[in-house]
Amino acid sequence: MAEETKVTIDDIAERAKVSKSTVSRVLSGSAVVAQPKRAAVLKAIDELDYRPNIFAQSLASGRSLTIGVLTQNIGSPFYDAILVGIHEGLGGSDYSPIVADGRWHLATEQTALQTLLDRRVDGLIVIGGSVQGSKLLRTVEQVPLIVVARNIPELGSHCICLDNFEAAYRATKHLIEHGHREIAHITGALSQGDAVRRREGYLQALSDAGIKPDPELVVEGNFRRQSGALAVEMLLTRGRMFSAIFAANDQMAFGARLALFRRGLRVPEDVSIVGIDDEPASAYMTPPLTTMRQPAIEMGEAAAHAILCLLNDEPLPNLQFSMELIARETVARHI
């Protein structure tokens, strides 16, 4: 098989019958080129099927035309939905994302973050995670930065986050309004701020309803399905009665539903369940899950638009989002 011949600027200039400098100006857009010459260059590019050398362009321009994205769990429906939104938001721009996975492990996150910075990304989007706020404050001095699904007060308008306290409060209140008072809570990993705020919202909703919180009804999970199943087994082993479960995310709600089924407990007749996220699978759980919807794709799109605004020295758009209660069929009235 013959080796493919690489098209060069010289080839384009010869085909268009213009100088190399004219071709360079058309490619870079650095100066106005007379319309006839510009049209001739563009025609030659099309005929020769020219593809620019992005690496060479980045060296010349000082830009890599890449956006680093530090996520936490590739394969998680919530984080992957944010990634989908980022890809869609960058569509049509000159920038492409480079994704690294922190795997919810601080050392891995720090390594991934440094790797992205070493790749000379033009901007950085950090999704969740536990990298210290002070570290991200130093990072924002090096490269434009947007943080998604995490609130770092010092970064202010550079954060796209949701009120996890309010979401948990509303989820728990929904159960209380249906007559439940013995409400168990499966937390996320309490090393994560989101999990802590959701637990606080749960406790406040109980307190405001005159219900004394019971530590025996709170079990720490890790945001994964298996931990939801194990949490239910632990609750049942403790022998403390409960009529409802507020799980800190849908994944753990799925696991809790499975554990209840294996123990012969019906949802929602015996135990009601509420989650957080509204993953696509939530509507297809048996029965469909009542949950608080996080607009993950929209948040990803907003993050992409925001980083492009920073790169173009434009004002940031409104980055505020809220969660919506999606009432389905896992909550029944408790008498």
Tell me the two tokens of residue 126. 């950090």
Distance CA 166, CA 264 (A): 33
Same domain as 179, residue 168: yes
Helix (H, G, I), strand (E, B) or coil at 326: strand
Burial of 182 (0-12, 13-18, 19+ CB in 10 A): middle
Whether the Cβ atoms of residue 24 and residue 10 lie closer than 8 Å to each other: no
Cα separation, 109 vs 103, in Å, equals 7
pLDDT number for residue 4: 52
Split into its structural domains, the chain has a count of: 3
Same domain (yes/no): 210, 271: yes
In this prediction the pTM is 0.78
Name, in order, each residue with C-beta under 8 angstroms of 84's C-beta and a sequence gap of 6 or more.
Answer: 297, 300
Query: How distant, in Å, are the alpha carbons of 40, 64, 146, 282 from that of 127?
Result: 45, 21, 9, 22
270 with 200, same domain? yes
* pLDDT the model gives residue 125: 96
Please check whether residue 216 lies inside any domain of the structure. yes
Pair 171, 206: CB distance under 8 Å: no
pLDDT of residue 2: 40
Residue from 228, 147, 164, 161 nearest 202 by CA: 164
Query: What CATH number does residue 25 fall under?
Result: 1.10.260.40
CATH number at residue 190: 3.40.50.2300
SS3 track for 89-116: HHCCCCCEEEEEECCCCHHHHHHHHHHH
What is the model's pLDDT at position 53?
A: 63
**Of 293, 295, 291, the residue nearest 329 (C-alpha):** 291
Separation CA 195–CA 131 (nearest Å): 16
CA distance 140 to 118: 14
**Residue 58 domain flag:** no
Secondary structure of 70-91 in the HEC alphabet? EECCCCCHHHHHHHHHHHHHHC
* Amino acid at residue number 279: E
117 within domain boundaries:
yes
Residue 203: inside a domain: yes
Question: Is residue 329 situated within a structural domain?
Answer: no
Strands 145-148 and 123-127: parallel
90 falls within a domain: yes
Residues 16 and 122 reside in one and the same domain: no
Residue 328 included in any domain:
no
In sequence order, what DSSP letters do the residues of 209-252 get, joined into one string? TTPPP-GGGEEE--SSHHHHHHHHHHHHHHT---SEEEESSHHH
Q: Does 212 share its domain with 70? A: no
- For residues 300 and 154, membership in a common domain is answered with yes
pLDDT digit string (tens) for the chain, length 335 residues: 344 567 888 888 899 899 888 887 887 665 678 888 888 988 988 888 887 665 555 545 567 789 999 998 888 888 999 999 999 999 988 899 999 998 878 888 999 999 999 888 999 999 988 888 888 989 988 899 999 988 888 888 899 988 999 999 999 999 999 999 999 999 999 988 889 999 999 999 999 999 999 999 999 999 999 999 999 999 999 998 999 999 999 999 999 999 999 999 999 999 999 999 999 999 999 999 999 999 999 999 999 999 999 999 998 887 778 899 999 999 999 98
Number of residues that this document lists for the chain: 335
Q: What letter would DSSP give residue 184?
A: E
Domain that holds residue 155: 66-162+296-321
What is the pLDDT, as a whole number, of residue 3?
45
175 and 92 within one domain: no
Q: Calculate the alpha carbon distances from 64 to 38, 59, 95, 127, 228 in Å.
A: 26, 8, 8, 21, 42
Q: Would you say residue 330 lies in a domain?
A: no
Q: How far is CA 276 from the centre of its chain?
A: 14
